Amino acid sequence: VKASANEFDDDLQAQQTRSFDSQVKSNLEKLQEERKTLPVFSYRDELLRAVEKYQVLVIVGETGSGKTTQIPQYLHEAGYTKHGKIGCTQPRRVAAMSVAARVSQEMGVKLGHEVGYSIRFEDCTSEKTVMKYMTDGMLLREFLGEPDLASYSVLMVDEAHERTLSTDILFGLVKDIARFRPDFKLLISSATLDAKKFSDYFDYCPILYIPGRRHPVDIFYTKEPQADYLDAAIATALQIHVTEPSGDIMIFLTGQEEIEAAAEVLKQKTEGLGTKIGELIICPIFANLPTELQAKVFEPTPSGARKIVLATNIAETSLTIDGIKYVIDPGFCKMKSYNPRTGMESLQVTPISKASARQRAGRSGRTSPGKCFRLYTSYSYQHDFEDNTIPEIQRTNLANVVLTLKCLGIHDLLHFDFIDAPPTEGLIKALELLFALAALNKFGELTKVGRQMAEFPLDPKLSKMIVASGKYKCSDEVISIAAMLSVGNSVFLRPKNKQTYADNARMWFQTGNVGDHVALLNVYNEWKETNYSTEWCAENYIQARSMKRARDIREQLERLLGRVEIELISNPDDLTPIKKAIASGFFPHVASSMKNGRYRTIKYPQTTYIHPSSGLARESPSCVLYHEMVLTTKEYMRCVTEIEPKWLLDVAPHYYQVKHVKNSGSKSSLAEEGGPNRTDNFLGSKTFHLPTRRLQ
């Protein structure tokens, strides 16, 4: 009997399903085999015994030994998820996402089910989730809802050596939890050998060392300091590609813009190399890289080709990319720096530490002997580089953390159990700022505004701007602006051969010199009017991906508005209330015009300029508010809006007095004479020789 077409189809389908299943299975088997080859695997039993015996444990193991992906799985396999979740914190969002994705693959489950991740504005977990990777900042926020972390049975504070602000604060909080929750297990893991400090802090807990496999790495220095490290890095990479045997390359750069510029140049230069030279596959990896592109860096390199990974610090210890044989280290990273005297912060390209340089070099010797090309002199390494990176808590604005701790009922900040205390000056500055923002009253107690602000996972200046938008009846507009600011500097595209078109398109959103904040609002609203059209984005040189992210963030901000009982009100016709709401949060970031495009910040005088990318760069309004300060060749204010100085007395009466406002907003000689014409160096007395860099 002939089978009917239908039955035949069913049969075929069944067959296909079977072969698909077996493919998945063999993939899983392969991954299981790979798991067993990681250095941490031989310590599995020892580790589980130690966790059972001790409540707190410090684990040290080289990058790539399998700490992040394996240890939570071992604990899960040993039953630690029966009565609670296993949490694992990461300082970087990309690491949390990528590691969770890997672990879900290894376990053969769907990401977001048993294994999930949680990063700011993105929660990929469900009720099923028992292994949760998250940023340290997100766990800190979870404390607000669950101060004893009752839903966790084990917490692994990973990458402890990074000493981010959130990790340092978590130390103090989880140490306390470990004391009153005997069932709670705490693992502190680190990629460097400074474990004794962690152990001492956690009441002299035991340390477990996982020896890594390390191959020798040859280190090369340049004979002369490099004038432009990006050029030097690209030249070195091309030279390796043409002359060195197979093996992938990794270049450490400072940020997305630099990485994209390098990718562009590399693409152009390799096109001219001819067919004799193998293909160079360019893989960027940085914090804001869209999820769908993140997996690409982990894909094995096809034979005959060479992969070149352009990474930020993220690849120093957070992510392990197999197959790297050549590392190019220009010796810089982008760091937030903070002047505790003035309370001002800026982003700045800074020399790395010796410890970082060693980590970077180590990335080339993981699977075979490697080579590391340091684009600085050996003398410079010996004499200019600090031994270790200063913990973030000692070089950053603490306002956010102070607000969180206040919400947790921790009032006596001076006696909080810090692993390294922040400078008292920094704490006082944070309290002053929160007071000026009206988040704290004069007794240092949390106000209603402060409580509302703490609901938003944002910098206090941004959350204050949102809370103030209730008062100014323009919350609808202000949360759009906040969402656009939160996606970073990736909204406007500027393709190499179409810069004039792109700049014109961008200026369109500025019509009427509305300022960069309102321009962002215009972009958002116009996009919304096109029903979120991707074509519209392309036509207007707008990054569609960033817009979608802004929409997601905006939705969440809208929900949070509801939670703090601020009405969603739109006031599209009057820009003044919008600007006043922004000023209610960003009043510390105000500068007034001097001569020749120069500006000076008005409370703590410092010379600065409007960034060339701003729509107001050519306008030179007399008084401006800025979103952030960046240091490239000069101190630049990025994202700028004109304001009226007199508003400052209204929105920040505890911060500004009449004398500040009087001198600003006029190009009078009085203001000009006000202080020495110099740029405050945020790093204090220590000045570095920074190579000149092109403007970004």
**Nearer to ligand ADP among residue 71 and residue 537 (C-beta):** 71
* Min separation Cβ 511 and ligand ADP, Å: 44
Q: Which is nearer to ligand ADP, 148 or 322 (CB)?
A: 322
Q: How far is the CB of 488 from Mg ion (least distance, A)?
A: 24
| Nearer to ligand ADP (CB atom), residue 64 or residue 331 | 64
> Nearer Cβ to ligand ADP, position 62 or 680?
62
Q: Does the protein bind ligand ADP through residue 362 (CB under 6 A)?
A: no
Which one among 89, 98, 226, 480 touches ligand ADP, defined by CB under 6 A? 98
Helices of type H across 146-192: 165-180
Identify which range of 67-75, 423-431, 528-536, 580-588 contacts ligand ADP by CB under 6 A: 67-75
CB of 572 to Mg ion, least distance (A): 47
- Between 319 and 575, CB nearer to Mg ion: 319
Burial 407-443 (b: 16+ CB within 10 A, else e): beebeebeebebbebbeeebbebbbbbbbbbbbbeee
Q: Which is nearer to ligand ADP, 161 or 429 (CB)?
A: 161
Closest distance between Mg ion and the C-beta of residue 157, in Å? Answer: 12
Sites for ligand ADP among residues 544-583 (CB under 6 A): none
Nearest 10 degrees: Cα torsion 123, 128, 131, 136: 30
Residue 609 contacts residue 695 (beta carbons within 8 Å): no
In angstroms and rounded to an integer, the radius of gyration of the C-alpha atoms of the chain is: 26
Is 181 exposed, middle or buried (CB count within 10 Å of its CB: 0-12, 13-18, 19+)?
Answer: middle
Q: What is the smallest separation between the CB atom of 329 and Mg ion, expressed in angstroms?
A: 20
Q: Quick one: DSSP state of residue 633?
A: S
With contacts defined by CB under 6 A, name the span among 5-13, 66-74, 135-143, 461-469 that binds ligand ADP.
Answer: 66-74
HEC-encoded secondary structure of 454-513? HCCCCCHHHHHHHHHHHHCCCHHHHHHHHHHHHCCCCCECCCHHHHHHHHHHHHHCCCCC
Among residues 221, 228, 215, 213, the alpha carbon closest in space to that of 258 is found at: 228
Local structure of 76: helix, strand or coil: helix
| Site for ligand ADP contains 67 (CB under 6 A) | yes
Work out what residue 322 binds among ligand ADP, Mg ion, none; the CB cut-off runs from 5 to 8 Å by kind.
ligand ADP
Q: How many CB atoms lie within 10 A of CB 200?
A: 12
Question: Do the Cβ atoms of 174 and 155 come closer than 8 Å?
Answer: yes
**How many residues lie near Mg ion (CB under 5 A)?**
1
| Residue span binding ligand ADP (CB under 6 A) among the ranges 93-101, 389-397, 534-542, 681-689 | 93-101
Q: What span, in angstroms and rounded, lies between the C-alpha atoms of 54 and 62?
A: 22
| Distance in Å, CB of 556 to Mg ion, minimum | 28
> Of 442, 466, 441, which is closest to residue 452 (Cα–Cα)?
466
Pattern of binders to Mg ion over 68-107, x per CB under 5 A? Answer: x---------------------------------------
Does 63 help bind ligand ADP (rule: CB under 6 A)?
yes
Residue 208 or residue 347: which is nearer to Mg ion going by CB?
Answer: 208
DSSP 267: H
List the one residue from 52, 146, 322, 417 that touches ligand ADP (CB under 6 A): 322
How many residues bind ligand ADP (CB under 6 A)? The answer is 17
Residues 55-74 that bind Mg ion (CB under 5 A): 68
Work out whether 360 is an interface residue with ligand ADP (CB under 6 A).
no
Bridge partner list, 152: 85
Q: How far is the CB of 133 from ligand ADP (least distance, A)?
A: 11
Nearer to ligand ADP, 307 or 579 (CB): 307
For residue 66, the partner it binds in ligand ADP, Mg ion, none, with Cβ less than 5 to 8 A by kind, is ligand ADP
Verify binding: residue 247, ligand ADP, rule CB under 6 A: no
Q: CA-to-CA distance for 528 and 525, rounded, in angstroms? A: 5
d(CA 696, CA 691): 15
Residues 6+ apart with CB under 8 A from 135: 89, 90, 91, 92, 93, 96, 118, 119, 120, 166
298 binds ligand ADP (CB under 6 A): yes
| Sole binder of ligand ADP in the list 73, 118, 135, 320 (CB under 6 A) | 320
403 closest CA partner among 636, 23, 143: 143
Please select the residue that binds ligand ADP; options are 47, 56, 60, 101, rule is CB under 6 A.
Answer: 101
- With contacts defined by CB under 6 A, name the span among 68-76, 124-132, 554-562, 580-588 that binds ligand ADP: 68-76
Check residue 125 and give left, alpha or beta (phi > 0: left; psi -120 to 50: alpha). beta
Sheet-wide strand order for 185-190: 122-124, 115-119, 131-135, 85-90, 152-157, 185-190, 56-61, 207-210
Interface with ligand ADP, residue 65, by CB under 6 A: yes
**Segment near ligand ADP (CB under 6 A), from 42-50, 58-66, 411-419, 594-602?**
58-66
Please give the Cα distance from 475 to 478 (Å, whole number): 5
Phi, psi of 684 (to 5 degrees): 80, -140
- Which region among 60-68, 482-490, 519-527, 655-663 touches ligand ADP (by CB under 6 A)? 60-68
Chain residues in the site for Mg ion (CB under 5 A)? 68
Chain residues in the site for ligand ADP (CB under 6 A)? 38, 61, 63-70, 98-99, 101-102, 298, 320, 322
